[in-house]
Every structure is written in structure tokens, then in C-alpha cells.
Amino acid sequence: MPDRGGGPTGPRIRVGRPSRRARTLLMTLGALAVLAMLFVMFAGFWTDWLWYRSVEYSSVFTVTLWTKIGMFAVFGLLMALAVGLNIWLAHRLRPPLSAMSLEQQSLDRYRMGVAPYKKWVLLAITALIGLIAGASASGQWRTWLMWVNGVAFGEKDPQFGMDVAFYAFDLPFYRFLLGFGFAATVLSLIAAALTHYLYGGLRITSPGARATAAATGHLSVLFGIFVSLKAVAYWLDRYGLAVKSSDFKAAGNWTGLRFVDANAYLPAKTILFCIAVICALLFFATLWRRTWQLPVIGFGLMVLSAILIGGLYPAIVQKFQVQPNEQAKEAPYIKKNIEATRKAYDIDSTVPENYSGKATVKSKDQLRKDSDAAASYRLVDPNVVSPTFQQLEQKRKYYQFPVTLDVDRYQGKDTVVGLRELNIKGIPKRNWINDHFTYTHGYGAIMAAGTAVDSTGSPVFTENGLPTSGQAGKYEQRIYYGEKTEQYSIVGGPQKELDYEANGERTTSYKGDSGVSLGNAFNRAAYAVALSEPQILYSGAIGDGSRILYNRTPKERVEAVAPWLTIDGDAYPAVVEGRIQWIVDAYTTTNGYPYASRTTLGDTTTDSLTAGNQTRAVVAQQNQVNYIRNSVKATVDAYDGSVKLYQWDTKDPVLKTWMKAFPGTVLPKDAIKDDLKAHLRYPQDMFKVQRELLTRYHVRDAAQFYSGSDAWQVPADPTNKDGNAVPPYYLSLKMPGDKGQRFSLTTTFTPNGRPNLGAFMAVDADANSKDYGRIRLLRVTSDVPGPAQVQSKLNGLPSVATFVRDMKGADSEIEYGNLLTVPLDGGFLYVEPVYAQGRSALYPLLKKVAVSYIDASKPEGDATKDTTVFEDSLGQALNAVFGVEGQTPPTTPPPTTTPPTQPPATGEAALQQAIADAQKAFADGEAAIKKGDWEAYGKAQQALAEALQRAAAADAERKAAGQGSTDGGS
């Protein structure tokens, strides 16, 4: 431009453009920012890969990853191609715009704006839709793996004769494909319609035809594809009726066909399928007819048919055919539901046995003798004594025990077990080094006899101390992986860890090969990002040999290496071959078993112990399933975290399917060593699911099932006021007809809406037993008080009222232990330990034992029909409940064999003899503990109590004699 002022022009100044150095700096910073973002995204992936490689389950990571990538790529590409192809085709079929209407003139500016970037717009739209579709499809990786690896069940559904595998593995994948097809068709239809409208193929306000012939043909084909997919959906819906859920008052969450489904919905779906096929052909015919008249009529007919045939007709059948005679109409379908449900939950071999509740033995002495053999009565309640373990065996503030302890078997005896795990909140001085480097592990397994307490009411520890010693022998006591170990630790490097030996504290360095190496800077940077802990990158406490341990709870580790399993809520520890092993029960499930009613795992497995207890909650607890098997037993080493999966149910087709999908991850059943097998048991969550189903499905007759006259319920825990179900109890007991005791898992039922005992259920829980998993169900045929009634009667005893008053006066709290139910000679024996906890003791001590024996053969009003006693020990309570004189010796010493002319022993001599006997009994008890001889220990404890009683009596006699002589002298 010329200078309008006439003066000389100055130098040009470029405003706003940075220098080359600034541009280079900005570009470098931008590149670094992009790299940093990519590294943050990559860090999670890389640390996951390192973790799976460290536990030697990298195949799980790779199979899962490649399956997700494959589904993302295939279905994302298919969706992008479908939408993109239809946009391109609609653009190609656009009409010439020679005579433009006002509507087209207003759209012209949009066309002009898009024209230079058409290819980029098309790529952007298809890429975005493809990414969304691919991400959604990748979440269906389980559905794909189950379909491609599915194994036949060898069982056919009663309606269509299809193998159960079709419903469990095939039908879910077909429905996924159908849903994807619908989405692709609808998006293509929308995209094509918009493109046709933009380029004049469709007109809304313009005069003349609303659509060109090309647009009509294109959209008609898409509508035809949509209706064709609807026809396929109607056909699949026919099979879907076999796994359809509905509310049915007789069965709760009913699954499968009912009368209206078989006689109305099923033919309706077939008719609608035919109508949809015809309607689709009419849409395809518009390629030649170029008119939508017939297709629209056909589509309207299909919609009307869906309303009338698919909705109104079934309602009429239900109202006028089923409801007037529902029991008879539904009987064949109820029968199918009962049979399928019992098979799906593995209770098909469980048949109730009538049990009268009337004593078959009338001799009091025989009943007393039989009561000793009937069960190993667990006086140490694992749900109560955790504070006792905490106070007596915590040893350091930074250790802890779980709220609920576990029950296992050692040397054939029921044993209460708890691990002394790390309590991060108890560390004296909290900082990053102490939290993650110094305090890294718990120490030792603490065990106590389940059937005995000492003279103070405390558990008799069979393995205790720090380090521990006792019946477990020599084993690796350090616990790096546990239920309470949720924080990460960095071990094996320059920073030493706190440890213990026989002489007290010392330091140690982790020698295991668990965890991920932090020896290189890249791994350190990845974990610094993944854990949001920048100190990991530059801390001097990390060096050569440093390894990071995380995902440290047993349930986390098993779920990570086997994401296709559902994990039991209670992992429990066992000392096996010199190592502490966490044993985790795992389940294979499906919700596609035809006719089997569904249950929600979280609701079914909740009881008074699991409510609010996250460590006892079943994984995936909101899952609805209608088939479950305890197919896998898993172990997690408490020292090195190694995970092993063992096949337990060798017939389960669901497990076989997953073993095909992830070959080599599950070891065969015969790989389980005998030492480990001795500690395997029947899982609680499986048992709770089965008992919930058996409240209704113990009935095999369809008419009786429909009426609900014999329905049961799981009673509320009478020792807990929260109203939740009573938990099942592990104990060794002798069921009717058995020759000896079996380690069992037991529960009770009450009739629906009534408090009396309806049934007793026990399963053989010993993995070494040939009858492992056999469920015994005793149906009570007489009026026998249930748990709540027994607890109520106990609370009403004068002796209990006195005890409670005395304890309250001593500022102590009363806590009732597990109310155990044991069948005994035709009747029922209830046993309940009662604990007291004072302010000074800070932990509960066993003070009393309540026992009740129910004999329904006695007439009403007979005091011996329902006898409840409240005594100081189990032996005394059993003696009292059966009215048998105990063998307790007199409190005064027996007469001597000296001649009558010789004076009897003085009170002082009797006192000294009693003290000597007490010392001997105490020594005998200590020796019995070391040998693990609990029978000898029990006898020694009884002898100790008797000696102490004699000592007290002799001392009172001596004091009384001294007082008398003083008075006489005065």
C-alpha cells in the first residue's frame, strides 16, 4: 500500500509471530506434554502386564487383551464401514440441484461449507462411531470366549430339546450380534437420511415428491434390514422364553416357560416372525416398485400384530384360562422348574428325611453317654473370641486379627485359627518409609482348640507366641499377603524391614521372588504414575533388589488371575507343608440355565456375620445366577503370594469352557496334595445359596409347591438383634445313621412365618470324605422349639437373670455365642456358650454354657419335654440337662484307711494335698498341650478344677477350726 502521508516509510514490524527459538521451545514443550500424557495412559497397561507376569499368569492378560483388541477392531470397523458406506452411498445417489426450492437454498450454505472437507467429515464421523462401537463391543469379551469355547452340558431343555450350552454360551452371543446389528442399522438409517436430506434426496417442505427414487430405494433396503433383524429377534425370543424371569408367587424369581408362555407367547412369537419376514420382503421390493405404500402397510400390520398377538392375546389367556384354574394349568411347568432348579444348584440328590424329634433312647445315662459322641461342641465361637485373640496374642499394636476367625481341622480336632496380620493404623510413627518399607508383614498363625477353654474361660491356644510355637510345627511365619493387607510395600532393597526371632525384634529383607522389580528407572516411573507416588521415582530407599508388592488380599489375587470366577466371601488360612496358604473357594456361574430360578448372590449369602463386613462379602455380589458350582479351589501363599488354581468339579461344563479359553491356568484335581486336601472344606457361600433354594425346592410335588404349605425360611440369628439370617456353623457332628462324627456345615430352618424348628440341614464338609458334598436334610415332623424359642426360654431362666444381674453389677457385658443345634437320639440338643466381658478384661471370657434338650415324645406340661439348663461348664450342663449325677468327687478328702484309733488328717494336711494335686494337674495339662492330646488335656483340666474345689473346702474348714478354738479359749 502507498504511504498516504507522503513521509518516509519505516521498517515493517511483525506483530504476534514468535521467534524461531520460541517456536522450537513451544513445539518441544507440546511434544513433551503429549509424551507425558501417553506415558500416563501407558503406565497402567505396563504395570498390569508386569503384575501378571510376576504371578506367572501372563496368558490371562494376553488372552483377555487380544480378545478385547480383536472385538474392538472387528466390531468398530464393521460399524464404521456400515455407517460410512451408507453416507457415501447417499451422497453418490444425490439428485442434481438445477431447480432449487427455498428449502434447498437454505441448505445450500451447509453443503458449501461441508464441500471442501467432505472426506475429512466422513472419516471423522465414521471414526467416532467406530471407536464408540468398538469400546462397547470389547466389554463383551467374556461372551465371545464362552461362545467360541463352549462345551456341551449333555442336558437338554424340556421345551425345545436344545442342549443347555445353547442357552448358557450361544444365545448370549447371538443376542449381542443382534443388538450390534440393530445399532448399526439404526445409525446407518439416520446417517443416510440426513445425507439424503442435506443433498436434496429427501424433502420436507418442497413441492412435489418427498423423496427421490434413489433415496426411496436406499432407505427401504435399510428398513428391510431392520425388519429382518426384528424377525430374527422374534425367533430368538422363542428360545429366550426358557430363560425368561418373571414373578410367580409360588416360586419367587421364576425362570422358564409357564402356561401362558407355552400356549400364547410362543405361538405369538412364531406368527410375528412370519409377519416380520413378509414385511421385510415388502421393503426390499421397493427397489423395483419405488413406492412405500405396501411396506408401510406391512410395517403397520406388524406393529398391530405385536400389540394384539404379542400383548393382548397372552393377557386374555392368562385372565380367562390360567387364573380360574392356575394350579392345574401351571403344574407341568412347575414340575420342570423344580427339576431344573434342583439340578442347576446341585441339590437334586437332596431328599428330606423325616425326623420325629422324639427321643428313641429313654435311659438318662445312655443319653448322657451318647451326647459325648454326638458332636464336638464348639465352645470357642470364632465370631466372638477375636478380641480375646487380639488382647492375648496381638503382642504389638501394629498387628491385628480379623473380626471373625476361621474354623479348620488340625490333628483331627476342630480348631479356631486367626493370622496375626499387619495393622497399618497401629504403626507408632506414620510416614511413607514406615508405612511401605519398614512395616511390611504380619507374623504367625494363632490357633486355639475349638472345644476347650482354660479355667478363666480363655481359649486354650495350641499355637501361639511371637514367633509362634505349638502344634503347627516349623513353618514360614511371615505374612506378606492377607485379608487385611491392602497397602503396597516395597521390599528387598536397601531399606530393612522390622521382623522377629526368638530373642525379640530384628530386621530382615524379603527373600521371596514375589512382586515386581523396581530395579530400573522405567518401572519406577510407571509405578510412580500408576500409584500417584512420585517418591517411588527418586527415593533412596529403593535400589537393586527392590520389589513392589501389591494386590495383596487373597480374593484380589484370585479374581485377577481368574476374572471368570466368582469368589467366596471367606478366604481362610491353613499351615500346609511349612507355609501359610490362604484357601479360596471359587465358583463358576451362569444365568442361562433354562427353567432354573435365579438368585442374587449378595442377598442370598448375607447373614448376621456378613452384614457390614466387607471382607466377608461375596465377590460380584449383585450377580444374578441360576447355575453355580464350586468348581475351583485356589490357594494363595501368604509369603510369596503365588496363586494356584485347582480343578475341583471335574464335570462342570462351564469350567471346561473357561479352561479351553485360558489353557494351562487351572491345575488338574490330582495335583492337590494330601496335606492341602486335609484342610479343604465345603464353602459357606455355596451352602447358603443351596439352603435358600431348599426353603422352597425341597418340595418335589407341583401342587404342594404351588400352595406353599411346606415352605421354610432361614431363621434370624437369635443371638443378634439385627434381624439377619443365622449363619451356618462348621462343627464335627454325628448325623442319624452315621457311625462317627463328620466335619460338617450345618443350619436350621423354621416353617414360613412360624418360630418352631422345621428342618435341620448338614453337609459333609470334609474334602477327604467319600461323601463330601452330600447334603442331609432332616424334616422335623413334631412340634420342636426353634432357635428363637430356645433362646427366649434361656433368657427367661432365673439362673440366667441372676447371672446377668451379677455381671451387670460387676460392670460386665454379656455376649451369647453360636447356638449349635445337634440331632441326638431322635431329639435335638441345643448348646450355646455364654461370654462375659468386663471393663478390666477388655475381652470376652467363657463363663457359662447353656444346654437344652428337646424330646417331643413327652406330653405337654412334662418338665422333661423341653429341658434347659445354665451351668458353669459343658460337662455340668450335659449332666444337668439329662438329670445324671456327675462324677465330681466330694469337696472334702475321702476317708483314710488308717485304724479308727488314729486321728483323721487335719485341715492343713488336706489343703496341702489338694494344692499338690492341683499342681500336678496343671503340669499334666501343659504336657498334654505340647503333645496335642486334647482328651488328656480335658481330663487334666477336670482334675485341676476338682483339686481347687477341695483346696477351697479344706481352707474353709481350717479357718473354721481355728475360729472355734479361739472362741473356746475365751
Band of pLDDT at residue 116, cut at 50, 70 and 90: confident
Confidence of residue 621 (pLDDT cuts 50, 70, 90): low
Query: pLDDT confidence of 899, banded at 50, 70, 90?
Result: very low
pLDDT of the residue at 859: 74
Residue 104 neighbours by CB under 8 Å, 6+ apart = 97, 200, 203, 206
Can you give the pLDDT at residue 937? 62
pLDDT number for residue 863: 61
Which secondary structure element, helix H or strand E, spans residue 775, and what is its range? strand 775-780
Query: Is the per-residue pLDDT at 37 higher than 50?
Result: yes
User: Are 882 and 371 spatial neighbours (Cβ–Cβ below 8 Å)?
Assistant: yes
Q: Alpha-carbon distance 588 to 625, whole Å?
A: 10
Please write the tens of the pLDDT for every residue from 658-707: 999 999 999 999 999 999 999 999 999 999 999 999 999 999 999 999 98
Nearest to 238 by CA among 264, 202, 276: 264
Write down the pLDDT at residue 957.
Answer: 63
Of the two residues 298 and 104, the one the predictor is more confident about is 298
Distance CA 408, CA 416 (A): 6
- Quick one: pLDDT at residue 896? 33
Is residue 764 pLDDT above 90, yes or no?
Answer: yes
pLDDT digits (tens, 9 = 90+) for 153-209: 999 999 999 999 999 999 999 999 999 999 999 999 999 998 888 887 777 766 556
Residue range 926-944, pLDDT digits in tens:
666 666 565 566 667 667 6
First-to-last C-alpha distance (Å) of the chain: 143
Please report the pLDDT score of residue 895 as a whole number.
34
pLDDT of residue 249: 67
Instruction: Using the predicted structure, report yes or no on whether residue 289 has a pLDDT greater than 80.
Output: no
pLDDT per residue over 537-573, tens digit each? Answer: 999 999 989 999 999 999 999 999 999 999 998 999 9
pLDDT tens digits along 197-241:
888 777 776 655 667 888 888 999 999 999 999 999 999 999 999
Q: Which residue has the higher pLDDT, 902 or 355?
A: 355
What is the average pLDDT across 356-374?
90
Distance CA 537, CA 518 (A): 9
769, 678 Cβ separation under 8 angstroms? no
Per-residue confidence band for 609, with pLDDT thresholds at 50, 70 and 90: confident
Please name every residue paired with 850 in a beta bridge, in sequence order, or none if there are none. 832, 870
Number of residues assigned to the chain: 970
The beta strand positions in 391-458, using DSSP E, are: 399-400, 406-410, 413-419, 421-422, 442-443, 445-453
Q: How many helices (H) and strands (E) does the chain have?
A: 29, 35
- What letter would DSSP give residue 905? P
Q: Tell me the longest C-alpha to C-alpha distance in the chain.
A: 157
- Is it the case that residue 839 has pLDDT exceeding 90? no
- The pLDDT of 842-850, averaged and rounded, is 90
State the pLDDT at residue 101: 60
Q: How far apart are the C-alpha atoms of 957 and 968, rounded to whole Å?
A: 17
Using alpha carbons, select from 945, 951, 947 the residue that is nearest to residue 871: 945
CB 870 within 8 Å of CB 803: yes
For residue 724, name the pLDDT band (cuts at 50, 70, 90): confident
Distances, alpha carbon 376 to alpha carbons 24, 731, 827, 850, 884, in Å: 82, 7, 17, 15, 20
- Give the Cα separation of 903 and 924 in Å (integer): 33
Q: How many CB atoms lie within 10 A of CB 779?
A: 17
Of the two residues 26 and 477, the one the predictor is more confident about is 477
Looking at residues 839-862, what average pLDDT do you find? 83
- Supply the DSSP symbol for 716: B
Q: Is the pLDDT of residue 614 over 90?
A: no
Report the C-alpha gap between 554 and 418 in whole angstroms: 15
856 touches 879 (CB < 8 A): no
Q: Model confidence at 482, in pLDDT bands (50, 70, 90)? A: very high
Inter-residue contact 744 to 317 (CB < 8 Å):
no
* Averaged pLDDT of the chain: 86
Q: Among 250, 180, 221, which residue's Cα sits nearest to residue 90?
A: 221
Per-residue model confidence (pLDDT) at position 954: 67
Evaluate whether 561 touches 515 at the Cβ level (below 8 Å). Answer: no
pLDDT given for residue 355 in this prediction: 94
Q: Is the pLDDT of residue 829 over 70?
A: yes
